[in-house]
Amino acid sequence: MDRLETSARLMIVSDLDHTMVDHHDPENLSLLRFNALWESSYRHDSLLVFSTGRSPTLYKQLRKEKPMLSPDITIMSVGTEITYGVSMVPDEGWVEVLNQRWDRNIVVEETSKFPELKLQSETEQRPHKVSFYVDKDNAQEVTKALSEKLANRGLDVKIIYSGGMDLDILPQGAGKGQALAYLLQKFKEEGKPPKNTLVCGDSGNDAELFSIPEVHGVMVSNAQEELLQWHAENAKNIPKIIHASERCAGGIIQAIGHFGLGPNTSPRDVAETADSHLEDAGPAHEVVKFNLFYERWRRAEVEHCETYIASLKASCHPAGSFVHPSGVEQRLHESISAMKKIYGDRQGKQYRVWVDRVLPSKISSDTWLVKFVKWELLGKLI
């Protein structure tokens, strides 16, 4: 929250499963394209928010499986848990809001009377979220009967059906939309509302995100029927919401372009040429491009030629250096020379490199310090 001193240029609030993360793309290409774009052009002055139905346990598991960035804010358990930063500091104020007119025990008691409801795993049962599986055919009827029962017991709840199988029961004031509204209000009170907000989703629990008045929205091409139906019934003629023609993170990039929210060409979509290292596009962009080149070099996707090495060296200041977290320092020119030995050593492998939290700061008139985290994927995350 405090990383930016002024309004974020762009705040992206994205769902994860089947939106940011494509579970049908084993190569994770659209996610990696998004990552490169975000780190090269947005990270320094924008905010990345993940808003997922997953509990903290399953969210952390996903981060081990997929090449994901670290968000600035993580909203989990369908808008019932908000945390900040990489250390995931919980928002205690939000917990208090949710405690109003909520009694988890009554929810558990009443739902146990419905045989159609099958309890989800223990990890997905959270202080302000009780979750079940229910067939598509029974969903509407059960939802109706259950809300009546709970209302009779004096509870004000929200029942959300997603993915054609998940049924979540939350306090009325919870949900992805309400959590976002709460955040936007907080930013306003601090005098730094985001200049633009883009919400991204694919299923029922994302619908609320699209009803926040001041935001742009993208339903990815692979959006679920329940979300498209919600849109057709409630938000059909709103030009600030589009149904992308591209899947998942590809649809998010598409929306950035459609709404003119900023750069929308991922460095991953730019072919490597020997002189592509000579243009000057800012330090974050350089870090992203360098690591992309490094990946392509090790995968032998660029030619093994001296011209590349020479142009890479030419684009680095002779005094430029790389400092490892261990404190070991190496001249950039030396690291580039050392690359000759590892050409193609990851050829034919599922090897990917992506950089995360790329934050440049100017430390003197002609010197930048760029901090970043570098991740590598080799079949599984390493």
Sites of contact with ligand GLC (CB under 6 A)? 53-54, 58, 78, 120, 124, 131, 162, 166, 168, 205
Which of Mg ion, ligand GLC, none does 299 bind, CB closer than 5 to 8 A by kind?
Answer: none
**Residue selected from 22, 39, 91, 202 as contacting Mg ion according to rule CB under 5 A:** 202
Cα separation, 154 vs 84, whole angstroms: 33
Q: Are 52 and 15 in contact (CB under 8 A)?
A: yes
Closest listed residue to residue 155, CA positions, set 104, 219, 90, 81: 104
Which of Mg ion, ligand GLC, none does 30 bind, CB closer than 5 to 8 A by kind?
Answer: none
Indicate the residue among 122 and 189 with the shorter CB distance to ligand GLC: 122
Indicate the residue among 58 and 146 with the shorter CB distance to ligand GLC: 58
DSSP state of 39: I
Q: How many residues would you count in the chain?
A: 382
Cβ-count burial of 203 within 10 angstroms (0-12 exposed, 13-18 middle, 19+ buried)? buried
- DSSP output for 102-120: --HHHHHHHHTT-TT-EE-
Indicate the residue among 158 and 289 with the shorter CB distance to ligand GLC: 158
Q: Are 49 and 72 in contact (CB under 8 A)?
A: yes
Contact region for Mg ion (CB under 5 A) — 15-23, 76-84, 170-178, 349-357? 15-23
- When asked if residue 15 is in the footprint of Mg ion (CB under 5 A), the reply is yes
Cross-strand bridge partners of residue 119: 132
Indicate the residue among 77 and 276 with the shorter CB distance to ligand GLC: 77
| Shortest reach from residue 117's CB to ligand GLC, in Å | 12
Which of Mg ion, ligand GLC, none does 15 bind, CB closer than 5 to 8 A by kind?
Answer: Mg ion
Q: Are 133 and 150 in contact (CB under 8 A)?
A: no
Which of ligand GLC, Mg ion, none does 131 bind, CB closer than 5 to 8 A by kind?
Answer: ligand GLC
Indicate the residue among 102 and 161 with the shorter CB distance to Mg ion: 161
Indicate the residue among 121 and 185 with the shorter CB distance to ligand GLC: 121
Give the CA distances from residue 357 to residues 71, 164, 257, in Å, rounded to whole numbers and listed in that order: 9, 35, 23
Closest listed residue to residue 214, CA positions, set 180, 237, 246: 180
- When asked if residue 17 is in the footprint of Mg ion (CB under 5 A), the reply is yes
**Residue selected from 7, 13, 18, 50 as contacting Mg ion according to rule CB under 5 A:** 18
